[in-house]
Amino acid sequence: MGGHSFTFKQFHIEQDRCAMKVGTDSIVLGCWTPVGGAKRILDIGTGTGILALMLAQRTHQEVQIDAVELDPEAVRQAEENINASPWRERIRVFRHDIRTYQAPHYDLIISNPPYFVHGQSLPDAARQLARHTEALDHASLLESAARLLTPFGKLALVLPVAQGDALIALAMQQGWHLQQRCWVETKRGKEPNLMLLLLSRKSVETEEEQLCLREIDNRYSPEFIALADEFYLRMSA
């Protein structure tokens, strides 16, 4: 999934200017996140614009999607990708720090947030910013989401398992509730390495589920095909 571009059924992603390329984590989150009832959606740290575009494809034309990004090169790339898509009228990109961003409340916030811990060195400065928790620590992400969501709003995230556990513990201290959690195993029979999370400010019973992306022979699994087929040009079991 590297390279300078990535083509889906209904839109195309250029990513040469973005530190963080399109990855399985964003694609799985964009497919999985429940969008029913959401009229206003916010994508925090949009990067290439991938999540905003995926949710635009999955929602009705009256749904407004805002995308916030701090890195100026990524903002330009996201704008280009969105302007070349069928949903340019519905998605707005803002260059802003989410910690000071102000807007009317959202029904759904989605993010593929930073997860490298302090002290981990990365080769490229922009990549370091995009994936370093100093740029947006999880406490700030949760506080910003709480401030920007409606009382019944939801926050959808993807994280590696260890960081996901830590974020859930932090979220519960801040008054969040875990509504859904999906454990993602990249290959059948392996330990899950990603966690999809849906957090709510309202007390709910947690739904647990599991998703396998590939079979042992590396073919996409039937459940991942069912989830992602509307986006991928070529998927076969």
Mean pLDDT of the chain: 89
Burial 132-167 (b: 16+ CB within 10 A, else e): bbebbbbeebbebbbebbeeebbbbbbbbeebbeeb
What is the pLDDT, as a whole number, of residue 23?
85
What is the pLDDT, as a whole number, of residue 1?
42
10 within some domain: no
56 within some domain: yes
Q: Is 173 helix (H, G, I), strand (E, B) or coil?
A: helix
Burial class (CB in 10 A: 0-12, 13-18, 19+), 189: exposed
Rounded CA-CA distance 211/218 in Å is: 15
Do 109 and 150 form a contact (C-beta atoms < 8 A)? no
Mean pLDDT (whole number) for 11-17: 88
161 within some domain: yes
14 within some domain: no
Per residue in 26-66, pLDDT (tens digit) is 999 999 999 999 999 999 999 999 999 999 999 999 999 99
CA atoms within 13 A on the CB side of 199: 28
Token pair, residue 28, equals 């799985």
Per residue in 139-176, pLDDT (tens digit) is 999 999 999 999 999 999 999 999 999 999 999 999 99
Per residue in 203-213, pLDDT (tens digit) is 999 999 999 99
Instruction: Return the CA Rg of the chain.
Output: 17
207 within some domain: yes
User: Positive or negative, the Cα torsion across 102, 106, 111, 117?
Assistant: positive
8 within some domain: no
Kindly tell me if the per-residue pLDDT of 237 is higher than 70. Answer: no
- DSSP sequence for 8-65: -SS-EEE-TT-SS---HHHHHHHHHS--TT-SEEEEES-TTTHHHHHHHHHS-TT-EE
Rounded CA-CA distance 161/58 in Å is: 26
* Number of independent structural domains in the chain: 1
Residue with tokens 């407004």: 64
Instruction: Print the domain residue range for 89.
Output: 24-228
CATH number, position 191: 3.40.50.150
Q: Is 154 helix (H, G, I), strand (E, B) or coil?
A: strand
15 within some domain: no
What is the pLDDT, as a whole number, of residue 17?
77
Beta strands in the chain (DSSP E): 5-7, 12-14, 40-44, 64-69, 91-95, 106-111, 149-160, 177-187, 194-200, 207-214
Kindly tell me if the per-residue pLDDT of 236 is higher than 70. Answer: no
